[in-house]
Amino acid sequence: MVLPTQRLEGSVAVDGLKAKKFYLNGTEITTDMLLPPEEVTVLNNTGGSLAAGTLVYIAGYNSTAGAYIVAPADADGRLIADLVLTETIADGDTGVAAREAVVTGLNTNSLNVGDLVYLSKSAGGYTASAPTGADVVQQIVGTVTAKSSTAGAIKFFPGDKKIIAIGSSLIEDGAVTFPKVAAGVIKTTVIAGGSAGNHTVTGIATGDQLVAVIQFDISTGSVVNVADLTSQFTISAANTINNTGGSDTTGDKLMVIYQDRTA
């Protein structure tokens, strides 16, 4: 427990880890909870120089250099950032990277102090907007601390692994079942049947996913015949599904089930 009278004095190295050192009423106290060091030695063998501020992931370890091997992280390559370089490292050289650090000398003129930045789909980079795509991992990697075209600064914290979303291709098949689908994502509507061709489904969009079109044939009196016509239909335009060349459903009802991906 940290008491109000305690004063943080700094940190000391213990077996490659860092422990916090405090003074309590003039007595030196070193905490027994050791934390991983914020800075580590890394090796760049990517074939080119890596600039300070490059977001990297750990790709291995080189025992000769005594350093982690790093490469540029990539939101679109499923390679999330572990560290940020705090200095420029030439190819084949070692340098320093950190789980959390302020990097200065950046161009942040298009951003504002306090803005979050995300791992970019451009390897090693960051972006002001969360990237999108089926293969993308959205990772918050820092926040702007100084706005400038030449002397901007960002407090990076890739080591916190702030993952806020993942692309659909990263979800294992069968992992998402109907009970897990959020309310409103799967929508159902019943429309009147008609001649083969365009049918109006208010609210459906070309970016949505058609799940099923079920025909309810009520022309036979008390017996209702049901048929699956899903394979005949496509979303052809906003508010429209089409089955040109398909079944004539005049006088029947069609239940249309679709996933709203554009809401």
Q: What is the pLDDT of residue 51?
A: 96
Q: For residue 257, how many other CB atoms are within 10 A of its CB?
A: 15
- Residues 203-229 have a mean pLDDT of 85
CB 202 within 8 A of CB 235: no
Q: CA torsion 159→160→163→169, rounded to 10°?
A: 30
Distance CA(214)–CA(253), nearest Å, equals 8
pLDDT surpassing 90 at residue 108: yes
The fraction of the chain above a pLDDT of 90, given in percent, is 61
Which pLDDT score is estimated for 247? 93
Predicted TM-score (pTM) above 0.85 = no
Is the model's pLDDT at 259 over the cut of 90?
no
Q: Give Dmax (Cα) for the chain.
A: 94
What are 25-36's pLDDT values in tens digits? 666 655 544 445
Q: What is the mean pLDDT of residues 131-138?
A: 86
Q: What is the pLDDT of residues 51-94, one digit of tens each?
A: 999 999 999 999 999 999 999 999 887 789 999 999 999 999 99
79-106: burial string, b at 16+ Cβ within 10 Å, e else: bbbbbbbbeebeeeebbbbbbebebeeb
Give the model's confidence band at 12: pLDDT under 50 very low, under 70 low, under 90 confident, else very high: very low
Give the residues across from 126 on adjacent strands: 119
Tokens (6 digits) for 56: 């990297």
> What pLDDT, on the 0 to 100 scale, is given for residue 183?
46
Residue 224's pLDDT is what?
Answer: 76
Tokens representing 85? Answer: 């370089």
Q: Is the pLDDT of residue 14 over 50?
A: no
Identify the three-state secondary structure at position 160: helix
The confidence score (pLDDT) of residue 7 equals 38
Q: What is the pLDDT of residue 132?
A: 86
Alpha-carbon gap, residue 129 to 220, rounded angstroms: 57
| E-state strands within 47-168 | 55-62, 67-72, 83-85, 94-98, 101-106, 116-119, 126-127, 137-146, 152-156, 162-166
Is residue 179 over pLDDT 90?
A: no
CA triple 220-226-228, angle to 5 deg: 145
